[in-house]
C-alpha cells in the first residue's frame, strides 16, 4: 500500500468520525439519514480497499463492518439513540487508533519493465531504491504484444522469468495498480499506442498510469550519441510523465522545446552505470563462446532495425559479405548481437525478407569464429569486444564510453562514395583526421572513409589512429555520473516524496 492510499483512507475515516459529531446535533431526520448513509458507504469502501491491498486484515475489516452496522441502526430511529451513538464513538476511536498500526507505513515504489534487454535503463535506480527501508519496492514486468502495422495484436510475450534471481518479481496478474496507487511508477516504454512493432496492454499506457500515481517517472531506454531526435521528446510517456531523467544538458535542451523545463532532469543514464559495472565484471565468458572467441580479436556486430526495414535484402547481402570477411581471418572473431526486436520488426514491417534472414542466422551460427548473441544482457558483449561494427544506436555511446574503436557501417552507401583510406599509412591517417573534423563525433570510423576490411585488419594489429580523446569525447555527450546515475535519479525522486 502506498503512502498516498494510506492518506486517502485515513482522511476518509476522519471524515466519518467528523460526521458522527454532526449527526449528534439537532438536525432534520432526513439529513441525519443522509449523513449516516454516506458514512456507512465510506467505511464499506475503506474495508473493500483494504481487503485488496493489506494482507491479514480480516479482523480489522470486521470492526469496520460492525461500524457500518451501527450507522444503519442509528438511521432507523426517529430520535438519535445516544447509547448506540456512544458505542459507535468508542468504536470509531478504537478503529482510528488501530488503523495507524494496520496500514503499512511505507512508500510504494513500482518499476514496470517489459523487455529484460531494456532493464538496464532502470536497474541501477532499482538498486538504489531497495536500500531505502522506508519503501516497499516492486518490480512488475508486464507482458507485451507483437503487432501488425494496423496494430492487430498477434501474440503475447512475458519475460518476468528472465530477470535475475535477486530481483523479486511481483506477478502482474495479482497486483492491481488502480487499487494500490503507487507513490512512484518508473517506466521505460513511452509509446502507448504509437509503436508499430510492440505494444503493452492499454492498462499500462502512460495515460492510464498517471491516473493512479502522482509521480510517473520516464527514463529513456536508449542513449544518444549526441542529440536526441525531436520526435522522442513528444511521445505520450514523456508528455504524461511527472519527471523525465536524461543523459545530458544537450539532450535536455531539445526536450525543453516541447516540455516544461522543470520536469526534465539531467542525471546521466543508468545504462552507462551498467556499462561501467560490466567493465568491472570478473566472471568469464560463457563456455559455449570460448571456442569461437578465445585468442582472437573480438568485434561486436550490432544490427539495428532501420536497416532491416529500409534496406531489406541489401542488409542481408551486406551481413553475408561481412561473414565472408571474418571467415577468412582466423585471428578475428565476430560477435553478432542483433536488435532484440529484429524478428518481430521483420514480421511486422518487412515480412518478405523473413525467410532469408532466418537462413542468414543459420549460416552465421556455422562460423567457427562467430557467436550469435541473443542473450538478454548486452553488457558482457560490450565488455569483451575489442571493436564495434554496426549502425548508430544506443550501443555506440555505450561502447564509446569504454574508449574502444567504433566503425559505423552504412549498408546503403554506394561504392563510388567510399574513399578507401589506408589508416596504417601517415598520409592515410592525415586524410582520415581531416575527414572526421566534419563529423559530429571525431573519434569514430565511418564507412565512407575506411573500408570494413581495412578497419578489421588495423584493429587486429592494434592500430587505432583515432583512439586519442575517444573516452573524453563520449563523456562530453553524456553527463558523467561516475557510474551512479541511478543513485542520482533515486535521490531526486526521494527528495520530492518527503
Give the pLDDT mean for 93-119: 93
Short-list 221, 186, 178, 182, CA closest to 202: 178
| Number of C-beta neighbours around residue 255 at 10 A | 21
Say if CB 155 and CB 146 are below 8 A apart: yes
So what's the pLDDT on residue 266? 97
pLDDT, position 442: 92
Residue 180 three-state SS: helix
Average pLDDT over residues 244-253: 96
CA angle 201, 203, 206 (to 5 degrees): 100
Residue 279 banded pLDDT, cuts 50, 70, 90: confident
Give the pLDDT of residue 226.
Answer: 83
Q: What is the pLDDT of residue 149?
A: 65
- Give the model's pLDDT for residue 77: 80
Q: What pLDDT score was predicted for residue 282?
A: 53
In this predicted structure, the answer to whether residue 430 has a pLDDT above a threshold of 80 is yes
Distance CA 38, CA 41 (A): 5
Which residues have CB under 8 Å from 272's CB, separation 6+?
223, 247, 397, 398, 401, 478, 481, 483, 485
pTM: 0.85
Average pLDDT, the chain: 92
pLDDT band for 228, please (50, 70, 90 cuts). Answer: very high
In angstroms, the first-to-last Cα distance of the chain is 17
Are the C-beta atoms of 331 and 296 separated by less than 8 Å? yes
Q: Measure the CA–CA gap between 478 and 152, rounded to whole angstroms.
A: 38
On whether the CB atoms of residues 84 and 156 are closer than 8 A, the answer is no
Does residue 152 carry a pLDDT above 90? Answer: no
Amino acid at each position: 500500500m502506498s503512502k498516498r492510499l494510506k492518506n486517502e483512507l485515513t482522511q476518509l475515516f476522519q471524515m466519518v468520525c467528523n460526521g458522527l459529531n454532526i449527526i449528534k446535533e439537532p438536525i432534520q431526520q432526513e439529513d441525519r439519514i443522509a449523513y449516516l448513509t454516506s458514512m456507512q458507504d465510506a467505511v464499506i469502501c475503506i474495508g473493500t480497499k483494504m481487503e485488496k491491498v493489506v494482507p491479514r486484515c480480516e479482523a480489522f475489516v470486521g470492526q469496520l463492518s460492525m461500524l457500518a452496522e451501527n450507522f444503519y441502526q442509528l438511521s432507523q430511529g426517529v430520535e438519535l439513540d445516544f447509547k448506540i451513538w456512544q458505542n459507535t464513538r468508542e468504536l470509531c476511536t478504537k478503529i482510528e487508533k488501530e488503523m495507524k498500526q494496520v496500514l503499512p507505513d511505507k512508500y510504494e515504489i513500482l518499476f514496470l519493465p517489459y523487455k529484460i534487454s531494456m532493464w538496464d535503463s532502470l536497474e541501477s535506480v532499482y538498486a538504489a531504491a531497495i536500500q531505502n527501508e522506508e519503501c516497499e519496492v516492486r518490480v512488475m514486468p508486464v507482458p507485451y504484444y507483437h503487432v501488425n502495422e494496423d496494430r492487430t495484436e498477434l501474440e503475447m510475450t512475458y519475460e518476468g522469468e528472465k530477470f535475475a534471481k535477486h530481483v523479486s518479481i511481483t506477478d502482474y496478474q495479482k497486483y492491481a495498480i488502480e487499487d494500490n496507487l503507487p507513490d512512484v511508477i518508473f517506466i521505460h516504454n513511452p509509446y502507448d499506442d504509437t509503436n508499430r512493432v510492440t505494444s503493452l496492454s492499454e492498462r499500462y499506457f502512460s495515460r492510464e498510469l498517471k491516473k493512479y500515481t502522482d509521480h510517473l517517472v520516464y527514463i529513456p531506454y536508449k542513449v544518444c550519441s549526441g542529440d536526441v531526435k525531436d520526435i522522442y521528446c513528444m511521445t505520450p510517456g514523456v508528455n504524461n510523465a511527472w519527471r523525465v531523467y536524461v543523459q545530458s544538458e544537450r539532450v535536455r535542451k531539445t526536450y525543453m522545446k516541447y516540455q516544461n523545463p522543470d520536469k526534465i532532469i539531467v542525471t546521466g543514464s543508468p545504462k552507462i552505470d551498467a556499462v561501467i559495472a560490466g567493465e568491472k565484471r570478473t566472471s568469464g565468458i560463457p563456455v559455449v563462446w570460448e571456442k569461437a572467441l578465445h585468442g582472437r580479436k573480438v568485434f561486436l556486430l550490432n544490427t539495428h532495425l532501420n536497416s532491416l526495414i529500409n534496406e531489406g535484402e541489401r542488409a542481408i547481402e551486406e551481413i553475408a559479405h561481412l561473414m565472408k570477411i571474418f571467415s577468412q581471418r582466423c585471428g578475428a572473431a565476430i560477435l553478432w548481437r542483433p536488435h532484440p526486436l529484429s524478428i518481430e520488426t521483420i514480421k511486422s514491417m518487412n515480412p518478405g525478407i523473413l525467410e532469408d534472414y532466418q537462413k542468414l542466422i543459420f549460416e552465421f551460427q556455422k562460423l567457427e569464429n562467430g557467436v550469435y548473441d541473443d542473450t538478454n544482457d548486452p553488457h558482457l558483449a560490450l565488455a569483451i569486444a575489442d571493436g564495434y561494427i554496426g549502425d548508430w544506436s544506443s550501443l555506440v555511446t555505450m561502447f564509446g564510453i569504454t574508449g574502444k574503436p567504433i566503425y559505423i557501417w552504412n549498408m546503403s552507401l554506394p561504392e563510388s562514395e567510399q574513399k578507401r583510406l589506408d589508416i596504417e599509412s601517415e598520409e592515410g591517417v592525415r586524410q582520415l583526421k581531416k575527414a572526421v573534423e566534419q563529423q559530429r563525433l571525431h573519434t569514430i570510423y565511418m564507412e565512407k572513409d575506411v573500408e570494413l576490411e581495412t578497419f578489421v585488419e588495423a584493429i587486429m594489429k592494434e592500430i587505432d589512429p583515432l583512439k586519442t580523446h575517444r573516452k573524453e569525447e563520449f563523456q562530453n555527450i553524456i553527463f558523467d555520473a561516475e557510474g551512479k546515475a541511478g543513485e542520482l535519479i533515486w535521490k531526486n525522486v526521494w527528495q520530492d516524496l518527503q
